[in-house]
Amino acid sequence: MEEKNNSCIILYPSPGIGHLIAMVELAKLVLCRYPDSFSEFIILMTTAPHLNTATTAPYTSHVSATTPSITFYHLPTTPLPSNYVASVEGLNFDLQSFNNPNVRQALETISSKAHVKAFVMDMFCSSASDVASAINIPTYYFFTSAAASLSILLYLPTLHQKNTTSFKDLNAFIQFPGIPPIFSSDMSNPLLDRNSMEYKYFMELAAQMAKSDGIIINTFHSLEPRAITAISDGLCTPNSPIPPIYCIGPLIAEKQTNSKENECLVWLNSQPSKSVIFLCFGSMGVFCEEQLEEIAVGLEKSGHRFLWVVKTPPPKECNESNTSILGLQGPDLSRLLPQGFLERTKGRGGCDASILIDSTQANSAEKEAVPNQTVRGYELIDEAKKNLEVACPSTVSCADIITMATRDSVALAGGPNYTVPTGRRDGLVSNEGDVNLPSPRFTVPQALRSFSDKGLTLNDMVTLLGAHTVGFAHCSFFRSRLSSSGRPDPTMDPALDATLSKLCGPADSNPRAFLDQNTSLVFDNQYYHQVMLNRGVLHIDQQLSLDKSSAPMVSNFAKNGAVFQQSFANAMVKMGSIQVVVGTDGEIRKNCRAFN
């Protein structure tokens, strides 16, 4: 590639911080790979009074300060007609079209001072392609979505010629090159009606892209081989040649250095791998209230954890002013989402008997997760359920059976006999990847975060860990603390270390050890005495007596068994109310090991 010689690339994103960031990252990529080829990357900025640009100015200032080769050229504000009415997509296309005189003036001004090697446009800026071509500047499109979406777009003119019916009325599957078929009514809203202005815009975009000097896609071949091959081979544009396709993804924006990590990322990092559904439809992706409610219902029924970016829907009547489409205030979630949705989905995963479900060839259930592999007693639940189904069919849920069986087991072992609410229903989801129990190797602050996510306090956590007084653990959960590992934990009593090292034996064996080495089969407060004597078997057990936040509670329970038992009863009732399924949600299983 030739030397700089005052050459530059002009990039033209549509409004919206997401589109702007994508263009900036493209500029950084080219700058990184060809540092001596271009003197400057100039980004044309559209100014629109009806858009919320609160995040734009700080971002551009940061980019200018950290990457001087990237500069921002602000186009004059273009007012919209007073009677203008359009959808979000229509507004994006029209705003850029209204800006064409300003774009031409900018291109001519910049061309008089530098050699413009390329003009790279966002897809919504397609109307500017003729402007650049008129002054002999090579034009490229930067398509920031998936190659599958590009396949649909480029094939649209061909489908238009084949059919005379709008997608909304076609009632058939549509075949696209390189991707699975899509049912006609599932096409995106702007494409449903062939007589709409939005449909016309996308038709023109597809034609313009096919005539450009190249299309840049934010993807890579290994991710979408069929779609990319179909586009490159011209299957999506059978009636015209296809320009070169450049797959340059994935472009990932640099992490901003903030003193405090975003709370969403903190939560996301605490979840099991591959267990969270992420829904985000871009900086200007909005849905009507009915669609938001449908999404919420689907998310709740899925049973999965999710991270959902919700935006205020446009008013049902969008003809008052241009601000009615964009620039909306933050959403009122309590009004927009189904009643009780936030409470029912908070924390995800609760007392719904999902642990009882057996795995199938199609699904690995919760009982397969490592923390659950020591759970026993499924047969007792099965027997109780069998008898209850005979006496009162489809009345008592497996979730209630677990709750009452736990209460009775505690009482039979010498613990408190407490009253538990009933009326739970059984959940409809059980996935191994959804299990997110605190690790036995956690510190107190780490464990507390897991308990806090479920609405439990530090006192609840210290109390509930007292159940280890009748618990056991496999050696694999604490072997690293033993002297036999070569790195003994200095906080463990040497006598306990010797006992456990002898019990656990070689590394390839994995026997079980009681967590209360004194009164192992009695539900009492001896567990707290043991950890105060440095005889906690698990790391988290011992940390309770060492951490200054939990140590006073351990001491209190060790001194007063009655206080512990009452606290335990309260905490169990509280825990048994986490994320329960009630009303018409879920089901009453006939067999606790399988969904109905």
Q: Residues 473, 479: contact at Cβ < 8 Å?
A: no
The phi, psi pair for 26, rounded to 5°, reads -65, -45
**Token pair belonging to 152:** 């649909």
Other CB atoms within a 10 A radius of the CB of residue 397 amount to 28
- 263-345, what's its fold? Rossmann fold (3.40.50)
User: Strand order of the sheet with strand 40-45?
Assistant: 70-74, 40-45, 7-12, 115-122, 139-143, 215-217, 245-247
Please give the Cα distance from 420 to 399 (Å, whole number).
12
Q: Which residues pair with 122 in a beta bridge?
A: 142
Given a cut of 50, whether residue 3 has pLDDT beyond it is no
Structure confidence by residue, pLDDT tens digits, 108-136: 999 999 999 999 999 889 999 999 999 99
Neighbours of 408 (CB within 10 A): 12
The model's pLDDT over 512-564, given as tens digits with 9 standing for 90+, comes to 999 999 999 999 999 999 999 999 999 999 999 999 999 999 999 999 999 99
Question: At 8, which helix (H) or strand (E)?
Answer: strand 7-12
Q: Which residues of 10-48 are buried (b: 16+ CB within 10 A; e: fewer)?
A: bbbbbbbbbbbbbbbbbbbebbeeeeebbebbbbbbbbb
Q: How far apart are CA 71 and CA 69, in angstroms?
A: 6
Evaluate if residue 49 carries a pLDDT over 80.
Answer: no
pLDDT value of residue 322: 39
The mean-pLDDT minimum among 13-27, 338-352, 381-395 falls in: 338-352
Q: Is 438 annotated as a binding residue?
A: yes
Give this prediction's pTM: 0.55
Q: Could you confirm whether 122 is annotated as catalytic?
A: yes
* Residue 321, pLDDT above cutoff 50: no
pLDDT (mean) for 383-406: 94
pLDDT of residue 216: 96
Q: How many CB atoms lie within 10 A of CB 58?
A: 10
**Which tokens belong to 461?**
């956590």
Rounded Cα gap, residues 399 and 195, in angstroms: 54
**Which of 52, 18, 13 minimizes the C-alpha distance to 283?**
18
Task: State yes or no: 360 annotated in a binding site.
Answer: no
Is 115 an active-site residue?
A: no
Distance CA 23, CA 11 (A): 7
Enter the tokens of residue 230.
Answer: 């179909």
User: HSE on the CB side for 498, CA within 13 Å?
Assistant: 3
For residue 214, what pLDDT is reported? 96
Tens digits of residue pLDDT in 159-181: 999 999 999 999 999 999 999 99
Q: Give the per-residue pLDDT at 318.
A: 44
Q: What is the pLDDT of residues 132-147, one digit of tens each?
A: 999 999 999 999 889 9
* Beta carbons within 10 angstroms of residue 276's beta carbon: 16
Amino acid identity, position 36:
D
Quickly tell me which residue has 């296809």 as its tokens. 242
Nearest alpha carbon to residue 445 among 361, 546, 516, 358: 546
Q: How confident is the model at residue 320 (pLDDT cuts 50, 70, 90)?
A: very low
Does the annotation list 453 as a binding residue? no
Residue 158, pLDDT score: 95
For residues 258 and 461, the model is more confident at 461
Residue 328 has a pLDDT of 52
Whether the per-residue pLDDT at 4 is higher than 60: the answer is no
Instruction: Provide the sign of the torsion angle of the four alpha carbons 123, 124, 127, 133, taken in this order.
Output: negative
pLDDT of residue 481: 94
Q: 3-state class of 41 per DSSP? A: strand
Quickly state the pLDDT bin for 326 (edges 50, 70, 90). Answer: very low
Mean pLDDT throughout 345-361?
A: 78
- Asked whether the beta carbons of 424 and 399 are under 8 A apart, the reply is yes
* Strand-strand pairing, 305-308 and 276-279: parallel
Q: Does residue 384 have a pLDDT over 80?
A: yes
Which pLDDT belongs to residue 427? 86
Residues of the chain within CATH 1.10.420.10 domain(s) are 349-471+515-596
User: Residue 374 and residue 353: Cα distance in Å, rounded?
Assistant: 16
Report the pLDDT value the prediction gives residue 377, as an integer from 0 to 100.
87
Task: Tell me whether residue 198 is annotated as binding.
Answer: no
Q: Which residues pair with 8 in a beta bridge?
A: 40, 116
Q: Using N-to-C axis directions, what is the helix angle for 444-453 and 539-546, rounded to 10°?
A: 100
Is 108 assigned a ligand-binding role in the annotation? Answer: no
- Contact criterion met (CB below 8 Å) for 31 and 8: no
List the catalytic residue out of 19, 400, 434, 529: 19
- Higher local confidence (pLDDT), 74 or 580: 74
Q: Is 244 annotated as a binding-site member?
A: no
As a whole number, mean pLDDT of residues 401-429 equals: 91
Residue 61 has pLDDT above 80, yes or no: yes
CATH 1.10.420.10 assigned to domain 349-471+515-596? The reply is yes
**Alpha-carbon dihedral 371, 376, 377, 378, rounded to 10 degrees:** 60
**Residue 228 pLDDT level (bands cut at 50, 70, 90):** very high
Higher pLDDT, 221 or 322: 221
What rounded mean pLDDT belongs to the chain? Answer: 86
Sign of the dihedral defined by the CA atoms of residues 85, 88, 93, 98, in that order: positive
1-144 CATH choice from 3.40.640.10, 3.40.50.2300, 3.40.50.2000, 3.20.20.70: 3.40.50.2000
- Stretch(es) of the chain classified as CATH 3.40.50.2000: 1-144, 263-345
* pLDDT value, residue 552: 96
Instruction: Give the chain's length.
Output: 596
Lowest mean pLDDT among 50-54, 298-302, 367-371, 463-467: 50-54
The pLDDT of 310-321, averaged and rounded, is 61
pLDDT at 414: 94
Q: What angle do CA 492, 493, 495 make, to 5 degrees?
A: 130
- Over the stretch 473-491, which tens digit does the pLDDT of each residue have? 999 999 999 998 888 999 9
pLDDT class of 255 with cuts at 50, 70, 90: low
Whole-angstrom distance, CA of residue 8 vs CA of residue 93: 26
Question: Helix, strand, or coil here: 250?
Answer: coil
Helix, strand, or coil (residue 310): coil
Strands 40-45 and 70-74: parallel
Instruction: Calculate what percentage of the chain has a pLDDT beyond 90.
Output: 55
| E strand spans, 151-255 | 173-176, 179-183, 215-217, 245-247
Q: Is the pLDDT of residue 323 over 80?
A: no
Q: Which two tokens stand for residue 335?
A: 């009004």
Name the catalytic one among 36, 74, 115, 122. Answer: 122
Most confident of 75-84, 317-326, 389-398, 571-580: 389-398
User: What's the sign of the alpha-carbon dihedral 441, 446, 450, 455?
Assistant: positive
pLDDT band at 281 (very low <50, low <70, confident <90, very high): confident
At residue 279, the 3 state secondary structure works out as strand
Residues 6+ apart with CB under 8 A from 555: 528, 532, 545
The candidate with the shortest Cα–Cα distance to 124, out of 95, 101, 93, 153, is: 93
Prior bond of 250 cis (ω within 30°): yes
Q: Round the CA-based radius of gyration of the chain to a whole number and report it.
A: 31
Nearest one of 37, 44, 43 to 117, comparing CA atoms: 37
* Per-residue pLDDT, 327: 47
> Annotated binding residue at 366?
yes
> For residue 365, which of 305, 427, 425, 277 has the smallest C-alpha distance?
427
pLDDT confidence tier of residue 148, bands split at 50, 70 and 90: very high
233 is in an annotated binding site: no
